């Protein structure tokens, strides 16, 4: 008789294609709290919280949110850099059956406002940083938020002031007004009455994750508790044996789906300590990896590359690292090789999308992978390669076409967007806009993208968003934005513009105008003014000539 499977981890480790465990996401936390209450759950710049303490704060926050009127199905926004407040409010809201909407704190007002309206977010959780407060207050007023929970950044840190002011200037933190809209964190968690928790079904929506998808129009991928927990189980199954005392670096933002699964859900499920950093700063990150003896470090290729290029003294001894998962953009073979040579730690590349919670494939950790491949499929995941001209036609193994995906991690659809949902599923499989093929050993390779997307560092930048912002400038007649090779970010946006008759503007003036409309990553690295832009036969602006010119220019360097 096989022994009864008692926990999520055991079920995940034993998972087969048809037996992938799912659960309400907070069950991942509950099981770890029951198993190892005194193990450390979080380390935030030296301040540590055990799983028991985290659980306690989650319960208090759930009660506080309930007092604000948050109920099952309500949308709760998290506009938070990596801080303990993220896991606290993530699990608190999910326990109430509410739906998490992730916000990038770097969003400009326009993006915040759009996402609040589109998702119907009613309560937002944020921190008392001046950079966020101003734009959030304006977006909240315009889009009609009911409440903003303001968490004091400094209170999550160790008592030594030095830590705070190594990150921020005096006056940048602690800035907010107590009024009808804002409620302070300590007030929110002051009630000791236990919250009344509803029964959460794994099929309920857990997270709305915004993405440009294949078109660039932002839309919310609707991920259920089952989608997210299944992906967590798939990752556990892929990693295999879980050794004790795992410490995962949370450098990638938790509001991004990669870290949401690989750092938060997976880390909590296996009872790891999450070593959170509010932003990526090379020397500080390296110091943290060394001093906290971080064992695994999910990141994006630009971060591994920055570590490779750091002076040996800054890098120091990173031998505590056991494995690293790279995702979000192609991992150049030489970046992988150099990182492995310098640290002695294996770094494997994975592939995923917001719509798939996100992990689709990862290179093996227990045997050699294939250079340039995004790895083998997660258990229970199927990939079909479709003819780009006729998506109903499936191509044979080895042929290149559009990658489509089936599996328990695939989203149900886009939030309130039935037309876009219908378009992204072909014969029941999710089409990705990524072009690739599967080799004879089941390794997936990406070769191109159908969608107009720039991968800048770990972020997706949609040329269309930049073009729309540039068109708002009164002097601009036409604009085309493409991705150009960038030594640090992999790709960066570049804009080509023409002027209206009798009008002029310098690239600097256009950039100054764009600062209000675009975030830092979207800001074109370069704006080139031309008399004419290339067009297709029917007169549409065409990108491929500019892409070819830039590739030639980069090759000549």
Of 245, 255, 262, 270, whose CA–CA distance to 298 is shortest? 262
**Euclidean distance between the first and final Cα of the chain, in Å?**
66
Task: Decide if residue 358 touches ligand AMP (CB under 6 A).
Answer: yes
Task: Give the number of residues in contact with ligand AMP, rule: CB under 6 A.
Answer: 18
Kindly tell me the sign of the dihedral angle through the C-alpha atoms of 269, 272, 273, 274: negative
Q: Which is closer to ligand AMP, CB of 121 or CB of 373?
A: 373
- Spatial separation of the C-alpha atoms in residues 456 and 475, rounded to whole Å: 27
Q: Which is closer to ligand AMP, CB of 70 or CB of 101?
A: 101
Stretch that binds ligand AMP, among 130-138, 151-159, 274-282, 351-359 (CB under 6 A): 351-359
Q: Are 89 and 149 in contact (CB under 8 A)?
A: yes
Q: Which is closer to ligand AMP, CB of 13 or CB of 215?
A: 215
Q: Which is closer to ligand AMP, CB of 175 or CB of 417?
A: 417
Please, what is the Cα angle at 462 between 536 and 449, to 5 degrees? 70
- Spatial separation of the C-alpha atoms in residues 79 and 497, rounded to whole Å: 34
Q: Which is closer to ligand AMP, CB of 32 or CB of 209?
A: 209
Stretch that binds ligand AMP, among 52-60, 281-289, 344-352, 387-395 (CB under 6 A): 344-352
Q: Are 135 and 111 in contact (CB under 8 A)?
A: no
Neighbours of 199 (CB within 10 A): 8
- Spatial separation of the C-alpha atoms in residues 543 and 197, rounded to whole Å: 53
Task: Decide if residue 461 touches ligand AMP (CB under 6 A).
Answer: no
**Selected binder of ligand AMP within 96, 183, 206, 329 (CB under 6 A):** 329
Q: Which is closer to ligand AMP, CB of 272 or CB of 353?
A: 353
Task: Decide if residue 328 touches ligand AMP (CB under 6 A).
Answer: yes
Shortest approach of ligand AMP to residue 301 CB, angstroms? 8
**Selected binder of ligand AMP within 354, 357, 409, 421 (CB under 6 A):** 354
Task: Decide if residue 432 touches ligand AMP (CB under 6 A).
Answer: yes
Which residues from 176-215 bind ligand AMP, rule CB under 6 A?
A: 211
Q: Which is closer to ligand AMP, CB of 89 or CB of 462?
A: 462
Shortest approach of ligand AMP to residue 223 CB, angstroms? 11
Task: Decide if residue 436 touches ligand AMP (CB under 6 A).
Answer: no
Q: Angle formed by the axes of helices 301-308 and 282-291, to 10°?
A: 80
Q: Are 251 and 378 in contact (CB under 8 A)?
A: no
Q: Which is closer to ligand AMP, CB of 328 or CB of 407?
A: 328
Task: Decide if residue 460 touches ligand AMP (CB under 6 A).
Answer: yes
Q: Which is closer to ligand AMP, CB of 273 or CB of 349?
A: 349
Task: Decide if residue 229 touches ligand AMP (CB under 6 A).
Answer: no
Shortest approach of ligand AMP to residue 276 CB, angstroms? 20
Task: Decide if residue 261 touches ligand AMP (CB under 6 A).
Answer: no
- Residue 542, judged by CB atoms within 10 A of its CB (0-12, 13-18, 19+), counts as middle
Neighbours of 508 (CB within 10 A): 9
Q: Which is closer to ligand AMP, CB of 30 or CB of 491?
A: 491
Stretch that binds ligand AMP, among 281-289, 324-332, 496-504, 513-521 (CB under 6 A): 324-332
Q: Which is closer to ligand AMP, CB of 336 or CB of 494?
A: 336
Task: Decide if residue 351 touches ligand AMP (CB under 6 A).
Answer: yes
Q: Are 530 and 545 in contact (CB under 8 A)?
A: no
3-state secondary structure 384-425: EEECCCCCCCECCCCCCEEEEEECCCCCCEECCCHHHHHHHE
Shortest approach of ligand AMP to residue 209 CB, angstroms? 8
Neighbours of 401 (CB within 10 A): 22
Task: Decide if residue 482 touches ligand AMP (CB under 6 A).
Answer: no
**Selected binder of ligand AMP within 88, 353, 378, 476 (CB under 6 A):** 353
Can you name the residues that pair with 150 across neighbouring β-strands?
Answer: 126, 184
Neighbours of 341 (CB within 10 A): 9
Task: Decide if residue 106 touches ligand AMP (CB under 6 A).
Answer: no
Q: Which is closer to ligand AMP, CB of 125 or CB of 257?
A: 257
- Residue 485, judged by CB atoms within 10 A of its CB (0-12, 13-18, 19+), counts as middle
Which residues from 438-457 bind ligand AMP, rule CB under 6 A?
A: 446, 449
Please, what is the Cα angle at 117 between 111 and 122, to 5 degrees? 110
Whose CB is nearest to ligand AMP? 354
Q: Is 515 helix (H, G, I), strand (E, B) or coil?
A: coil
Q: Are 304 and 318 in contact (CB under 8 A)?
A: no
Shortest approach of ligand AMP to residue 531 CB, angstroms? 34
Q: Which is closer to ligand AMP, CB of 328 or CB of 457?
A: 328
**Selected binder of ligand AMP within 46, 120, 316, 330 (CB under 6 A):** 330
- Spatial separation of the C-alpha atoms in residues 510 and 34, rounded to whole Å: 56
Shortest approach of ligand AMP to residue 349 CB, angstroms? 5
Q: Are 349 and 374 in contact (CB under 8 A)?
A: yes
Task: Decide if residue 349 touches ligand AMP (CB under 6 A).
Answer: yes
- Residue 310, judged by CB atoms within 10 A of its CB (0-12, 13-18, 19+), counts as middle
Shortest approach of ligand AMP to residue 322 CB, angstroms? 21
Of 125, 122, 179, whose CA–CA distance to 153 is shortest? 125
- Which residues of the shown chain bind ligand AMP in the complex (CB under 6 A)? 211, 257, 327-330, 349, 351-354, 358, 374, 432, 434, 446, 449, 460
């Amino acid at each position: 008789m096989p022994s009864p499977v008692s926990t999520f981890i055991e079920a995940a480790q034993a998972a087969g294609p048809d037996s992938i465990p799912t659960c309400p996401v907070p069950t991942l936390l509950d099981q770890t709290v029951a198993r190892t209450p005194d193990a450390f759950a979080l380390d935030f710049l030296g301040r540590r919280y055990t799983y028991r303490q985290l659980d306690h704060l989650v319960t208090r926050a759930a009660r506080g949110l309930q007092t604000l009127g948050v109920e099952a199905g309500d949308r709760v926004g998290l506009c938070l850099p990596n801080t303990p407040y993220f896991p606290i409010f993530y699990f608190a809201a999910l326990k109430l059956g509410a739906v998490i909407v992730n916000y990038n704190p770097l969003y400009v007002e326009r993006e915040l406002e759009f996402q609040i309206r589109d998702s119907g977010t009613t309560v937002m959780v944020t921190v008392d940083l001046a950079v966020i407060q101003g734009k959030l207050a304006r977006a909240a007023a315009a889009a009609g938020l009911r409440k903003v929970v303001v968490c004091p950044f400094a209170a999550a840190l160790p008592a030594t002031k030095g830590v705070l002011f190594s990150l921020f200037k005096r006056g940048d933190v602690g800035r907010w007004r107590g009024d009808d809209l804002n409620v302070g964190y300590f007030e929110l968690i002051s009630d000791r009455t236990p919250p009344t928790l509803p029964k959460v079904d794994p099929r309920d929506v857990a997270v709305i994750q915004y993405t440009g998808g294949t078109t660039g129009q932002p839309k919310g991928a609707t991920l259920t508790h089952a989608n997210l927990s299944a992906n967590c189980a798939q990752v556990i199954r892929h990693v295999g044996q879980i050794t004790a005392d795992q410490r995962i670096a949370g450098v990638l933002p938790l509001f991004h789906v990669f870290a949401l699964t690989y750092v938060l859900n997976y880390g909590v499920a296996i009872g790891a300590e999450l070593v959170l950093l509010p932003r990526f700063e090379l020397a500080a990150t390296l110091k943290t990896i060394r001093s906290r003896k971080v064992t695994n470090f999910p990141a994006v290729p630009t971060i591994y590359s920055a570590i490779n290029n750091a002076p040996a003294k800054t890098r120091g001894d990173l031998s505590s690292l056991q494995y690293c998962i790279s995702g979000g953009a192609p991992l150049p073979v030489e970046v992988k090789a150099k990182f492995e040579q310098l640290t002695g730690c294996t770094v494997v590349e994975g592939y995923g999308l917001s719509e798939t919670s996100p992990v689709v494939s990862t290179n093996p950790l227990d045997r050699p992978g294939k250079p340039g491949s995004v790895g083998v499929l997660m258990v229970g995941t199927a990939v079909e390669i479709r003819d780009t001209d006729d998506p109903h036609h499936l191509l044979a193994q080895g042929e290149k076409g559009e990658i489509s995906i089936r599996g328990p991690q695939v989203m149900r659809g886009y939030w309130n967007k039935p037309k876009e949902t219908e378009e992204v599923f072909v014969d029941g499989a999710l089409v990705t806009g990524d072009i690739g093929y599967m080799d004879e050993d089941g390794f997936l390779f990406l070769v191109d993208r159908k969608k107009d997307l720039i991968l800048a560092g770990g972020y997706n930048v949609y040329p269309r968003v930049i073009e729309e912002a540039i068109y708002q400038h009164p002097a601009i007649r036409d604009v085309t934005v493409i991705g150009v090779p960038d030594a640090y970010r992999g790709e960066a946006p570049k804009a080509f513009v023409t002027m209206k008759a009798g009008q002029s503007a310098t690239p600097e003036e256009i950039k100054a105008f764009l600062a209000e409309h675009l975030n830092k990553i979207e800001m074109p690295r370069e704006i080139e003014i031309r008399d004419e832009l290339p067009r297709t036969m029917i007169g549409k602006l065409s990108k491929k000539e500019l892409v070819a010119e830039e590739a030639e220019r980069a090759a000549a360097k």
